[in-house]
Amino acid sequence: MIYSRIAGTGSYLPEKVLTNDDLVAMGVDTSDEWIRERTGIEQRHVAAEGELTSDLAEKAARKAIEAAGIEAEEIDFVILGTTSSDVVFPSTACKVQAKLGCPGGPALDVNAACTSFMYALSIADQYVRSGASKCALVMGAETLTRMLDWNDRTTCVLFGDGAGAVILKPSEEPGILSTHMHADGNYTDLLHTSVGVSSGFKENEPRAGVKVAMKGNEVFKMAVKTLGQTVVETLEANQMRQSDIDWLVPHQANYRIIAATAKKLKMDMDQVIVTVNQHGNTSAASVPLALDHGVRSGKIQRGQTMLLEAFGGGFTWASAMIRY
């Protein structure tokens, strides 16, 4: 049996750092204490003017390529999870493919909001398992700060920019053990934007100002509920117990949600990769960013078992059990 296995990880964060105190100085009606208590966030990174989602993704991809010990030309499948594409088309994945110099294979974007990377990872896993891909590049990248209303403290304090990437290669040894994807469109209004290509714009008005809207309390409840369900599902699918998991690598949306998931798994917070304090919620980039941080910090070791999970607008949620 052929498995897909993570051969290398990489990440990139823009140079500009925006602290909670910086937000206060900008006139946002908030405080460092208010943000930390409710989210655990201390700072976030913001893309520079002219710095595109594809630029962030390319830099993360190159680090993953180096870590995997491969050449970019070996990549035959490129998939990118994002809600902040460079342009409507072509896909940002196509732009990254061109920048890396590995044309010819499929390249596509996946938009499942903050769950986008997890969806992309599941798709790439199937490609590698089936033999359709011998070397897949999977990325999550966002420049979501360009979609924020900086007067809305319920959203502007949460999000940041960044990118993460993994290289998947075929292996006879178990790597990705299972992936699980879900969505329920009945909860669209919990976390969304109201403007798109075919709706929301008014005649004779500039096509700009796409803003993120969120019902925070409802999102929190839905996230805890769905992540609890997917934890049970993932464990049962692999006939595993909570104690079999070495690391939880969660979506970095809110420290309280991360802690609630860890409690569900009966895991100590020392077994959880947490980057939300330094990165904020980087949406599709948050799981691969956290994964790369765990690997490069020396916490996550080869042979250990990880549970990755995420949730996002849609409402979407997904998980993966992985032996690193």
> What are the residue numbers of the active site?
114, 251, 281
Please, are residues 12 and 67 in contact by the beta-carbon 8 Å criterion? no
190-197, Cβ contacts within 8 angstroms, sequence gap of 24 or more:
190/214, 190/215, 190/218, 190/219, 190/222, 190/313, 190/315, 191/113, 191/215, 191/219, 191/312, 191/313, 191/315, 192/313, 193/147, 197/88
Q: Tokens 């008014």 — which residue? A: 202
d(CA 173, CA 162): 31
CA distances 71 to 57, 75, 137, Å, are: 17, 8, 12
Are the CB atoms for 73 and 101 separated by under 8 Å? yes
Distances (CA, A) of 156 to 14, 20, 152: 17, 10, 6
- C-alpha–C-alpha distance, residues 174 and 260, integer Å: 29
The answer to whether residues 232 and 266 touch, using CB atoms and an 8 Å cutoff, is: no
Q: What is the rounded distance in angstroms from the CA atom of residue 16 to the CA atom of residue 6?
A: 30
- N residues, the chain: 324
